[in-house]
Amino acid sequence: MGARWGPAGGAPPGGGGGGGGGGLVVLTADDRCFLEAQVRRHKAPRSLSDRCRMVLLCAEGLQSKEVAERLGVHEHMVGKWRRRFVQNGIDGLTDEFRAGRPRTVLDTQVAQVIERTLNTTPKDATHWSIRSMAAEAGLSHTTIRRIWGAFGLQPHRSETFKLSTDPLFVDKVQDIVGLYMSPPNRAIVLCVDEKSQIQALDREQPVLPMAPGVPERRTHTYIRNGTTSLFAALDIATGAVIGKCYKRHRATEFLSMPRGRTSPRAMPPTRRRKLRAGGGGAPRGAPPPRAPSVRSIRLNGGLQS
């Protein structure tokens, strides 16, 4: 903060001093800049901007009573914030810390609730509920809810997992993750997936748009055009998505999609492609999977291990 102007040096530039039971208000250049900035700020808390206005008017030499009349507040309020600023400066304009109600739940009780939730189960249920834990711990159910929420405990939820029995599982994971973490030079990495048996429907009449008081309307009848299969690929480097629909769902269509000319800009012919096949039903006639699961596809060639 800058040097303060004291009483011996006279009033500071722009006015200074003022009485009214709260002491002499003396502003530095930094103090005045901060107070004026808070008054001009549209997003500043109203309480803080009002206090800054009080201090600025007091620094101009006005009494607390005169400042109160200008701002429409009580004289005691002006005297309070004048005194707080004289004693603590800018920091005195903020609200003091309020301790609030003393804690009634100790850390040991919180630790006991967490330990019981994680390591024990009730006698007559498969998992703890908020009220059963409250009865067991001797606390209110709202306290148990806050403790569980703070530590992210959800005893009522259960999820499943599956461990792969494939002996080459680690090698396959390393192969696929390696393409994402460190793509090969002069190659395009494609993540391919399929969506088969898409219903190709056609409404007999166009859909009527929504209007005020009327929802969107469509005919209850439609024309079936069979099903189609969508094969799509995601370019890992650019995020471009290429895809094509086929009438049949076979290995021939699956392999022809990456080699097709659906997006020449996204797949230059001079670069190799790394194909990562997604899950889903296996195309009809597709060969059984072999390790490794990630294979290279050249634009002019077939499938290479």
Angstrom distance (rounded) from CA 12 to CA 20: 18
> Hunting for tokens 């107070």 — which residue is that?
35
Angle, helix 130-137 to helix 107-119, in steps of 10 degrees: 130
Residue ranges of the domains in the chain? 11-93, 107-151, 169-304
Q: Would you state the pLDDT for residue 280?
A: 52
Q: 106, 105, 127: which is closest to 116 by C-alpha? A: 127
Angstrom distance (rounded) from CA 300 to CA 294: 18
Confidence (pTM): 0.38
Q: What is the pLDDT of residues 41-96, one digit of tens each?
A: 888 888 899 999 999 999 998 999 999 999 999 999 999 999 999 988 888 888 87
Angstrom distance (rounded) from CA 45 to CA 142: 32
Q: Determine the number of helices (DSSP H) and then strands (DSSP E) in the chain.
A: 9, 6
What is the phi/psi pair of residue 281, to 5°? Answer: -70, 140
Q: What is the pLDDT of residues 212-257, one digit of tens each?
A: 888 988 888 878 788 888 888 887 777 888 888 888 888 787 777 6
Q: What is the pLDDT of residues 192-217, one digit of tens each?
A: 888 888 877 788 888 888 988 889 88
Average pLDDT on 171-179 reads 86
And the tokens for 145?
A: 């809810």
